[in-house]
Amino acid sequence: MIEALETLVFSLADDELLIGHRHAEWIGLGPILEEDIAFASIAQDETGHAQAYYQLLTDLGLRTPDEYAFRREAQAFRSAHLVELPNFDYDYGLALMRHFLYDAAEQVRLEALRRSSYDPLAGLAERLAREEKYHWMHARAWIQRLGRSTEEAHLRLQSALDQLFPYAWMLFEEMPYEAEMVEAGWLPPSAELRERWLTLIAPILTDAQLTWHEPTPEHLLALQGARRGVRSPYFDALYAEMTEVSASDPDAEW
């Protein structure tokens, strides 16, 4: 079951690590000072959560969090393509919508993991949920506020939702060894988690007068395989930037 546990932990941790990096790119560029600070704080939390997930494997005598974060081959990552997407033109509507869709998924995943039969994961989920709820409150508040404000704000959020929704859908792509994970009681099936996610976000989007549609198989075809090691076209540049300091002296002790 070690391979199954690694797959699950990598799916959770790699998402957190890369969304943390993308959020950190907003430091100094937020539209208002409050949001600059908010995204910086959330980025720090997400990176810390990634480290905590990796530590679950380290505690079993496997590699260290730094090795998992900075010294793996691209194909070993299990991050969803949503978190690998660049901050295109630093469009804050896209940043907020990704934040909303992703942190809604985090609420659903952590709630399920708190009931996991794997005690170390359940205990960690309990702790992380206390911080993640503030990320969710922040994302939800801005979507609700801007979705019903000006026409421009509404149109920009709708455009972002149209672009990102298929990527967010694939946060719940079936993982390798998922049948074994479900049978062991580690978490529910990904399809069930997706339904919970839709139940959470649908009334908020409706209240903000934003519309969404289930992606077609054609839309999803190019996004498949992230949980099996298929990386997006944006991963290599992201990873090179993220590991630049570590790669300059791989044997350094920090």
CATH number, position 177: 1.20.1260.10
Q: Is residue 254 part of a domain?
A: no
Counting the structural domains of the chain, the total is 1
Radius of gyration of the chain (CA): 18
Measured CA to CA in angstroms, residue 135 lies from 45, 107, 111, 124, 190 at distances of 9, 10, 15, 17, 22
How far apart, in whole angstroms, are the C-alpha atoms of residue 201 and residue 194?
11
What number of helices (H) and strands (E) belong to the chain? 12, 0
The range of the structural domain enclosing residue 213 comes to: 2-248
Measured CA to CA in angstroms, residue 41 lies from 23, 185, 214 at distances of 9, 33, 32
Q: Is residue 25 part of a domain?
A: yes
Query: In the predicted model, is pLDDT for residue 148 greater than 90?
Result: no
Tell me the average pLDDT of the chain.
94
Query: In the predicted model, is pLDDT for residue 208 greater than 70?
Result: yes
Q: What percent of the chain has pLDDT over 90?
A: 86
In single-letter form, the type of residue at position 243 comes to T
Q: Is residue 13 part of a domain?
A: yes
How far apart, in whole angstroms, are the C-alpha atoms of residue 63 and residue 55?
9
Q: Is residue 164 part of a domain?
A: yes
Q: Convert the pLDDT of each residue in 45-73 to its tens digit.
A: 999 999 999 999 999 999 999 999 999 99
Q: Is residue 253 part of a domain?
A: no
Q: Convert the pLDDT of each residue in 81-114 to its tens digit.
A: 999 999 988 899 999 999 999 999 999 999 999 9
Mean predicted confidence (pLDDT) in 172-195? 97
Is the pTM of the predicted complex or chain greater than 0.75?
A: yes
Confidence bin at 135 (pLDDT 50/70/90): very high
